[in-house]
Amino acid sequence: MKAAAFDYRKVQTIDQAIGLLQDFGDNAKLIAGGQSLLPSLNMRLSAPELLIDLNGVDELKGIQVKTENNQEIIFLGAMTTHTEIEDSALVAEKLPLLKKAVPHIAHRAIRNLGTWGGSIVYGDPAAEWPACAIALGGVMVIAGPEGRRKIAAKDFFIDLYTTDLQANEILLGTEFTLSKLQTKDYFDELARRHGDYAIAGLTVQIEHLDDVIKAARIVYFSIASTPMVATQAQTLLVGTSLQKINHPDLILQCQIAVRSEIQTMSDLTNSAKMKTHLIGVLIERALVSLAK
């Protein structure tokens, strides 16, 4: 199928994009890399009158470092492509979890066009970036007619393909405040073939002071309608010895915690029961790996 006819405007500024969103309301759609939007237009899942192309807005592109209140912050612009994240030395050094996750997103040709912001706003529960954003304690920076606002990544993903972003708003990017503690992270996903969407995936970031875990963020993806935070397992890890998190008793406790706390959902090919089994497998692998 082909998309229904639409008008096209390539904007140069955020204000121009917001102005058009206000004028056209639900009849306009922003386009970034087009890797999710264009298939959905071709399948006639939506038929906007106007596509507003963000590729001319330089302010949305790239990765910056800034210091605020003695804290180092990395800002990942919404129009930064998956490939730019993959190739960034800054990301590899400061946000290594993203570096580990990015090869699992589709294939290079798609990563060359697809963007951080497109993936975050699309809110696909099987996508890697939303879970990583939560695991890294990210904050979404948003612009709309009323000005700018921020919302924590953990509160941004509301339901299947549904986020807190309003129809007249644009995601500018995501801020990551780097921990002053030492950090370790883990990324894994189970997929039938490399590049496929995951059957179940896990992202973890741990903050530790020497051997003592001070904070843990454990976030699953591709198992429910949004990324799922394993709060009980996080609580079990805080205060424990990093070297001992591979202890069989702790692994078992965490497996029981994630399997009882998280309500998994089936997808087209995998049952909820199978996903519940896999989230236990993934937490075991994570704890064994993080102890090393």
Ligand X SMILES: Cc1cc2nc3c(=O)[nH]c(=O)nc-3n(C[C@H](O)[C@H](O)[C@H](O)COP(=O)(O)OP(=O)(O)OC[C@H]3O[C@@H](n4cnc5c(N)ncnc54)[C@H](O)[C@@H]3O)c2cc1C
Nearer to ligand X, 119 or 270 (CB): 119
Q: Is-contact 258 279, C-beta < 8 A?
A: yes
H and E: helices and strands count for the chain: 12, 14
Count the residues of the shown chain that bind ligand X, applying the rule CB under 6 A. 30
Nearer to ligand X, 115 or 264 (CB): 115
Residue 11 binds to ligand X (criterion: CB under 6 A): no
Here the tokens at position 209 are 């002071």
* Residues 26-65 close enough to bind ligand X by CB under 6 A: 29-37, 39, 54
Phi first, then psi: give them for residue 173, nearest 5 degrees.
160, -170
Residue of the chain from 24, 122, 186, 187 that contacts ligand X (CB under 6 A): 122
Residue 170 binds to ligand X (criterion: CB under 6 A): yes
Here the tokens at position 58 are 């330089």
Here the tokens at position 139 are 């904050």
DSSP line for 184-249: EEEEEEE-SSTTSPPSEEEEEEEEEETTEEEEEEEEEESSSSS-EE-HHHHHHHTTSBGGGTT-HH
Residue 88 binds to ligand X (criterion: CB under 6 A): no
Q: Give helix 248-261 / helix 272-290 axis angle, nearest 10°.
A: 150
Residue 110 binds to ligand X (criterion: CB under 6 A): yes
* Residues 217-256 close enough to bind ligand X by CB under 6 A: none
Residue 115 binds to ligand X (criterion: CB under 6 A): yes
Residue of the chain from 128, 185, 188, 267 that contacts ligand X (CB under 6 A): 128
Stretch that binds ligand X, among 107-115, 223-231, 244-252, 275-283 (CB under 6 A): 107-115
Nearer to ligand X, 24 or 122 (CB): 122
Rounded Cα gap, residues 129 and 117, in angstroms = 9
For residue 32, what are the contacts with CB-CB under 8 A and spacing of at least 6? 54, 55, 78, 79, 114, 115, 117, 118
Residue 106 binds to ligand X (criterion: CB under 6 A): yes
Residue of the chain from 85, 86, 99, 114 that contacts ligand X (CB under 6 A): 114
Here the tokens at position 111 are 């990563």
Residue 14 binds to ligand X (criterion: CB under 6 A): no
* Residues 194-213 close enough to bind ligand X by CB under 6 A: 197
* Residues 176-195 close enough to bind ligand X by CB under 6 A: none
Which residues contact ligand X by CB under 6 A?
Answer: 29-37, 39, 54, 78, 105-106, 110, 114-115, 117-119, 121-122, 124, 127-129, 165, 170-171, 197
